[in-house]
């Protein structure tokens, strides 16, 4: 690992001044991803600016009935919070489905949102990778891609976003609050992540040096009827190979409204708008759920070794919707 400096400011203005003043400075949350990437040589920051002393460790009620979560909130605290468990259970379940207890005790909300892909070539500096070194090539397309994207990829990159938490945030239309050099900004999660297109190295719409301060969960009373379901290769301590966050509003056997987001299938948490559209106003039946899943997945472009994700995610969607009808 290369030598690096370390700062731990207590005030956001100091943190922003430090990141603007030192080339190669990076914010540090719990360090559970960034430090691993430093050990691999993928990241080589000159200075780490630890943001865990900033006043961003909170979960509070918003005036509109939603919740506001500070970016420094540890993943374990978020998952254990009573209001999250009661009002947005899919979010608590998604966070608990990630990593291990020890990692969740360290990992922060801000860091979780910006964790990097687990594409094996991205993490191996001896291999080409367009995301790590623009224009160096993408060996994944013809090589190891069994856990890479079936939706939203480009010729240059088919990496998947690894975050479980972000999938639930996408289903709930969360808003991410940031401080950027130009000032504060509220970014709807649908505009937060970028598809790779011809610039896979740019994963978000954030300006360089942006500090995430909080995430808002808008009020959604029927989000209490929500669930996160994750398929993985091992029972614990493993990233998703497919996942789904679903919230369902059902009355008299009809779907009044629905939110569906998919994980581990695309470079961003994938909001299944086509499936949602297909379900609104329809009978809450398995037939309708299968048609909705097909409406989304007919756009999938699987490769040689990740075709299994299409039936996997279809079944996750259908099964979770059925469970939510039974729970209503
Ligand atoms: C073995 C293992 C298994 C895992 N399994 C899963 C899993 O199944 N599901 C899952 O979702 N995750 C999993 N993770 C990932 C884990 O959830 C992330 O490493 C963690 O959430 C990152 O949070 P952090 O605070 O440690 O981020 P850091 O590592 O500190 O930072 C990550 C990135 O965020 C930036 N950053 C941090 N805070 C801010 C801020 N406030 N503003 C702007 N930028 C910021 C950093 O500069 C860095 O680029 C796993 C990790 C490990 C090591
Ligand atoms: S899929 Fe993306 S991250 Fe993986 S090797 Fe290709 S360019 Fe790199």
More confident residue, 21 or 146: 146
Q: Which residue's CA lies nearest to atom 8 of ligand 2?
A: 129
Mean pLDDT of the chain: 97
Q: Is 203 helix (H, G, I), strand (E, B) or coil?
A: coil
CA angle 286, 291, 292 (to 5 degrees): 95
Q: Is the pLDDT of residue 293 over 80?
A: yes
Residue-wise pLDDT tens digits, 60-77: 999 999 999 999 999 999
Contact (CB, 8 A) for 243 and 164? yes
237 vs 277, more confident: 277
For 156, 248, 276, the CA distances from 113, given in Å and listed in that order, are: 23, 24, 24
Token pair 């969960």 is at which residue? 217
Q: How far apart are the first and last CA of the chain?
A: 52
Q: Say if ligand 2 is within 6 A of residue 90 CB.
A: no
Average pLDDT for 255-272: 98
Q: What is the mean pLDDT of residues 301-318?
A: 98
Strand ranges of the sheet holding 270-271, from the earlier edge strand across to the other edge: 226-232, 240-251, 254-263, 270-271
Q: What is the rounded CA–CA span in Å between residue 151 and residue 293?
A: 13
Is the shortest distance between the CB of 206 and ligand 1 below 6 Å?
A: no
- Give the start-end residues of each E strand in the chain: 5-7, 25-28, 47-50, 59-61, 67-70, 175-180, 183-188, 211-217, 226-232, 240-251, 254-263, 270-271
Nearest CA to ligand 2 atom 2: 157
Strand partners, 180: 183
138: pLDDT strictly greater than 80: yes
315: which 2 tokens?
Answer: 């079944």
Domains and CATH numbers, the chain: 5-50 (3.30.43.10), 229-327 (3.30.390.50)
Q: What is the pLDDT of residues 160-189, one digit of tens each?
A: 999 999 999 999 999 999 999 899 999 999
C-alpha 328 – ligand 2 centre gap (Å): 41
184-205 pLDDT, tens digit per residue, is 999 999 999 999 999 999 999 9
What is the mean predicted confidence (pLDDT) over 6-21? 96
Question: What ranges in the chain are assigned the alpha helix state H?
Answer: 12-21, 34-40, 75-80, 82-87, 89-96, 101-106, 109-113, 165-171, 273-279, 286-297, 309-327
pLDDT over 70 percentage in the chain: 100
Ligand 1 near 12 CB (within 6 A): no
pLDDT at 183: 95
The answer to whether residue 236 scores a pLDDT higher than 90 is no
- How much distance in Å is there from the Cα of 54 to the middle of ligand 1? 17
Q: Is the pLDDT of residue 21 over 90?
A: no
pLDDT of amino acid 120: 98
User: Rounded to the nearest whole angstrom, what is the distance from the C-alpha of residue 50 to the centroid of ligand 2?
Assistant: 28
Q: What is the C-alpha R_g of the chain?
A: 20
Note the pLDDT of residue 235.
84
Ligand 1: distance of its center to the CA of 32 in Å? 5
**Which mutation among 158, 162, 198 tests ligand 2's pocket best, with the greatest number of atoms within 8 A of CB?**
158
Instruction: Give the number of whichever ligand sits closest to the CA of residue 239.
Output: 1
Question: For a pocket test of ligand 2, which of 140, 144, 194 has the largest count of ligand atoms closer than 8 A to its C-beta?
Answer: 140
Confidence tier at 2 by pLDDT (50, 70, 90): confident
């Amino acid at each position: 690992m290369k030598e690096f400096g370390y700062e731990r400011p207590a005030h956001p203005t100091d943190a922003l001044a430090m990141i603007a003043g030192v080339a190669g400075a990076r914010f540090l949350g719990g360090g559970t991803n960034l430090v691993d990437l430093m050990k691999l040589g993928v990241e080589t920051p000159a200075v780490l600016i630890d943001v865990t002393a900033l006043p961003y460790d909170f979960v509070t009620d918003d005036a509109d009935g939603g919740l506001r979560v500070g970016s420094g909130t540890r993943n374990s605290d978020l998952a254990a919070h009573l209001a999250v468990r009661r009002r947005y259970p899919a979010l608590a379940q998604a966070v608990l489905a990630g990593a291990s207890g020890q990692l969740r005790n360290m990992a922060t909300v801000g860091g979780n949102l910006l964790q990097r892909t687990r594409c094996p070539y991205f993490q191996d500096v001896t291999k080409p990778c367009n995301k790590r070194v623009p224009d160096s090539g993408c060996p994944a397309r013809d090589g190891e891609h069994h856990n890479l994207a079936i939706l939203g990829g480009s010729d240059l990159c088919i990496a998947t976003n690894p975050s479980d938490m972000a999938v639930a945030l996408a289903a709930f239309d969360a808003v991410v609050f940031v401080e950027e050099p130009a000032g504060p900004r509220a970014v709807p999660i649908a505009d937060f992540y970028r598809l790779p297109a011809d610039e896979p190295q740019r994963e978000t719409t954030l300006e360089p040096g942006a500090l995430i301060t909080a995430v808002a969960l808008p009020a959604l009373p029927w989000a209490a009827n929500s669930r996160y379901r994750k398929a993985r290769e091992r029972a614990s301590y493993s990233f998703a190979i497919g996942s789904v966050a679903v919230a369902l509003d059902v009355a008299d056997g009809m779907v009044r409204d629905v939110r569906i987001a998919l994980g581990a299938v695309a470079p961003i948490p994938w909001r299944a708008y086509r499936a949602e559209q297909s379900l609104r106003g329809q009978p809450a039946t398995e037939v309708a759920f299968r048609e909705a899943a097909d409406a989304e997945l007919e756009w999938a472009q699987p490769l040689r070794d990740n075709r299994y994700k299409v039936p996997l995610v279809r079944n996750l969607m259908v099964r979770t919707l059925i469970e939510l009808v039974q729970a209503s």
